[in-house]
């Protein structure tokens, strides 16, 4: 509910401002909270979208290492880097529409297969086994980590406005957000209460890749097929997730060049080269981001820990910015004042702050315990 509310509030603020050039969360924050707010928003968007990309790379790397065991990590990771580097060069939202639809179909097949496998395992465990597996080992910590993971599942906040801008009927966006979020919640609950309990403590990466290694016969063939689909869906949706992070990185680089007075020198240098072709700067920036994701995957090869960390650090920050903007715009008279909406906004901000600090501490502690 918090994720849906934040997305709808963000689009409401954007439409209330009714100014040309507003293309993302940062632009809304700039108008409502000023330059400092914009810089904070950019940091949070960069953390979240960079975190999503790190998780994507980690999932595909785990799949590749499982499928290409004979090659070893030293050979597999460069291949993964080349694959994601090539996908990173697709940078327009319009270029990604068909690829994202393919990814959605693949994920639906995967969810059905994973849920069925989880139900079969739970049937074997029986009621007593289910109760034992469902009980949290660390009630408070597990609840906070679960909340951070749920926050991460709404990581699309950073690409809400770019996607809305490309829609043929932007007015239908609120309804689509609600429907898509309801589907996301159903998917999350389906996997959590089947695979999450049935295979608790056994999985660090892709649940489908794990199931493919545990099953036999026809079921193994299906799980292997589903695992391939997951890898494909992750790869083809990677460019869209990279889009906000690459835009922010380009803005930061441009700002630093301006502060250092390097803009004019660069222009002169480019002119001096005449017609000689060079690698576009946007391509270099995207490849640098891919290299960072590869490094994070090698350092922390546990998707669950990455999800909890980035959800706690970044997504909670994004989640509180839209309600803050909403309150400011209501106080300015841009939006009609509502005490109920203001109370809701303050509650969302408080909840985000609690999860941010407690979730970050626990996620970092778990990473240190696992890899320290």
Q: Which of 257, 73, 49, 68 is nearest to 162 (CA)?
A: 49
Q: Does the structure show a pLDDT above 60 at 152? A: no
**What pLDDT is recorded for position 266?**
47
Question: CA torsion 15→165→315→34, rounded to 10°?
Answer: -50
Residues 6+ away with beta carbon under 8 Å from 343: none
Q: Are 305 and 370 in contact (CB under 8 A)?
A: yes
**What pLDDT is recorded for position 319?**
81
> Where residue 210 falls among pLDDT bands split at 50, 70, 90?
confident
**What pLDDT is recorded for position 347?**
92
| Euclidean distance between CA atoms 149 and 313, whole angstroms | 11
Computed over every residue of the chain, the mean pLDDT equals 77
Q: Are 41 and 160 in contact (CB under 8 A)?
A: no
3-state class of 18 per DSSP? coil
Q: Which of 102, 38, 62 is nearest to 237 (CA)?
A: 102
Which of the two residues, 143 and 291, has the higher pLDDT score? 291
**What pLDDT is recorded for position 93?**
57
Q: Are 58 and 226 in contact (CB under 8 A)?
A: no
Q: How many residues does the chain have?
A: 372
Which letter does DSSP use for residue 204 in this model? S
Q: Are 102 and 246 in contact (CB under 8 A)?
A: no
**What pLDDT is recorded for position 50?**
86
Q: What is the pLDDT of residues 314-366, one digit of tens each?
A: 778 888 888 999 999 999 999 999 999 999 999 989 988 888 888 888 888 87
Q: Which of 50, 57, 76, 58 is nearest to 204 (CA)?
A: 58
Model's pTM, two decimal places? 0.73
- Name the CATH architecture for the domain at 2-371: Up-down Bundle (1.20)
Which letter does DSSP use for residue 137 in this model? S
| Euclidean distance between CA atoms 327 and 37, whole angstroms | 14
**What pLDDT is recorded for position 201?**
67
**What pLDDT is recorded for position 265?**
46
């Amino acid at each position: 509910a918090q994720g849906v509310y934040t997305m709808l509030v963000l689009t409401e603020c954007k439409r209330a401002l009714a100014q040309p050039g507003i293309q993302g969360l940062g632009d809304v924050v700039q108008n409502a909270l000023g330059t400092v707010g914009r810089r904070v928003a950019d940091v949070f968007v960069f953390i979240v979208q960079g975190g999503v990309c790190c998780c994507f790379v980690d999932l595909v790397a785990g799949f590749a290492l499982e499928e290409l065991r004979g090659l070893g990590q030293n050979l597999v990771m460069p291949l993964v880097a080349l694959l994601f580097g090539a996908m990173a060069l697709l940078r327009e939202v319009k270029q990604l529409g068909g690829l994202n639809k393919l990814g959605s179909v693949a994920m639906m097949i995967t969810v059905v297969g994973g849920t069925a496998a989880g139900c079969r395992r739970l049937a074997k465990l029986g009621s007593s086994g289910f109760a034992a597996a469902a009980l949290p080992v660390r009630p408070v910590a597990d609840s906070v980590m679960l909340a951070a993971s749920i926050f991460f599942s709404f990581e699309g906040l950073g690409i809400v406005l770019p996607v809305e801008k490309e829609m043929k009927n932007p007015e239908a966006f609120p309804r689509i957000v609600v429907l898509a979020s309801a589907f996301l919640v159903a998917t999350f609950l389906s996997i959590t209460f089947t695979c999450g309990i049935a295979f608790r403590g056994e999985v660090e990466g892709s649940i489908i890749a794990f199931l493919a290694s545990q099953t036999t016969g026809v079921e193994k063939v299906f799980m292997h097929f589903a695992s391939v689909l997951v890898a494909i869906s992750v790869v083809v949706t990677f460019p869209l997730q990279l889009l906000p992070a690459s835009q922010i990185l380009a803005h930061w680089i441009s700002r630093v060049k301006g502060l250092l007075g390097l803009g004019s020198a660069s222009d002169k240098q480019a002119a001096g080269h005449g017609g000689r072709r060079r690698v576009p700067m946007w391509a270099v920036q995207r490849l640098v981001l891919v290299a960072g994701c590869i490094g994070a995957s090698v350092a922390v090869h546990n998707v669950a820990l990455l999800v909890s960390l980035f959800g706690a650090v970044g997504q909670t920050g994004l989640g509180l910015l839209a309600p803050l903007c909403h309150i400011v715009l209501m106080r300015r008279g841009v939006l009609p004042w509502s005490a109920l909406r203001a109370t809701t906004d303050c509650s969302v901000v408080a909840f985000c702050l609690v999860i941010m600090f407690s979730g970050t501490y626990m996620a970092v502690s778990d990473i240190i315990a696992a890899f320290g």
